[in-house]
Amino acid sequence: MRLRHLACAAVLAVALPACAVTAGEHASILDAQTLRIGVKGDQPGLGLRTGVDTYAGFDVDVAYYIAGELGVAREDVEFVQVTSEEREDVLIDDEVDLVLATYSITQLRKTVVNFGGPYYVARQDILVRADNTDIQGVEDLAGRKLCQGAGSNSANRIIEERGIDAQRVERATYSECIDLLAVGVVDAVSTDDLILAGYLAEAPSAFRLVGEPFTSEKYGIGVAKEDVAGCEAVNRAVTQMYQDGTASRLLDKWFGDTGLDLVRTVPQFEGCG
């Protein structure tokens, strides 16, 4: 379904009948008394499922903060686990009201959903096994097996954009990529440094973060395309989160011991609409 939505957006100008996208009516989040928020469930430090209906991580805490600024109580927030591949679909099909799931803002995605934020600007890096000293930067991935989660752009930025001849291996989630890395099926996993730092924190003796970031990844809050007013309210909430010190506190809570150079200033917003 995701491919259909994005393909339709790419040819919107010619209005092909086959590309009609059926979506539910979207009420503005400004009128919400409850919120359904899409988060990851397998990314330690960001969005990790800890029980039947409970999640923990930076994205989860940011989601609670934004909900509070929108006037929705913590107990009225429902989290929905999503994969990278599902993020557009769950918004378009009105299965969630917001998505906070390490959701990088791209021009193509902006054709089908709105983005508040970014609420953080991460940087793409590389995770390898601890005993691998051959990979010291992105150029060293040539000829190596590189794993990415389905629906992610991380391998594209290396193979297509930088012309590095790595062998792409794709799995449904980054957790599956990490499992392949641990047993030597792939040589590296490359994605946002916050994601990699969460996995590294769980097994510091097994992996090594290369520490040579090479892109900026703007984490956005996905909002229904037509809800411009709701998107603008999300931006006001993110601004307040940085100004009152909550953002810095949450970054320290989840990543303070990782050694990452954390960004603590309000990111430049992309704009709604």
Q: Which residues of 95-107 are buried (b: 16+ CB within 10 A; e: fewer)?
A: ebbbbbbbbbbee
pLDDT at 26 over 90: no
Quote the pLDDT of residue 207: 95
Alpha-carbon distances, residue 166 vs 15, 19, 147, 161, 193 (angstroms): 37, 34, 10, 12, 19
Nearest to 118 by CA among 237, 226, 221, 260: 221
CATH architecture of the domain with range 123-209: 3-Layer(aba) Sandwich (3.40)
What value does the mean pLDDT take over residues 206-229? Answer: 93
CB of 177 within 8 A of CB of 186?
Answer: yes
Task: Write out 120-133 in H/E/C secondary structure.
Answer: EEEEEEEEEECCCC
The candidate with the shortest Cα–Cα distance to 51, out of 59, 61, 60, 41, is 41
Q: Locate the domains of the chain by residue range.
A: 2-22+29-121+218-255, 123-209
Q: Burial-class residue 180 by CB neighbours within 10 Å (0-12, 13-18, 19+).
A: middle
β-strands 188-192, 113-129: how paired?
antiparallel
pLDDT band at 23 (very low <50, low <70, confident <90, very high): very low
Q: How far apart, in Å, do the first and last CA atoms of the chain sit?
A: 23
The CATH code of the domain at 2-22+29-121+218-255 is 3.40.190.10
Are 2-22+29-121+218-255 and 123-209 in the same CATH fold? yes
**CA–CA dist 90, 111 (Å, integer):** 15
The pTM of this model reads 0.82
Mean pLDDT, all residues of the chain: 89
Please check whether residue 99 is in contact with residue 222, taking contact to mean a CB–CB distance below 8 angstroms. Answer: yes
Record the tokens describing residue 188, joined without a space: 């590296």
pLDDT tens figures, 224-270: 999 999 999 999 999 999 999 999 999 999 998 888 889 899 999 98
Task: Check pLDDT > 60 for residue 11.
Answer: no
Tell me the pLDDT tens digit for each residue of 93-149: 999 999 999 999 999 999 999 999 999 999 999 999 999 999 999 999 999 999 998
Could you please report the per-residue DSSP string of 95-159?
Answer: S-SEEEEEEE--TTGGGTEEEEEEEEEEEEEEEEETT--S--SGGGGTTSEEEEETT--HHHHHH
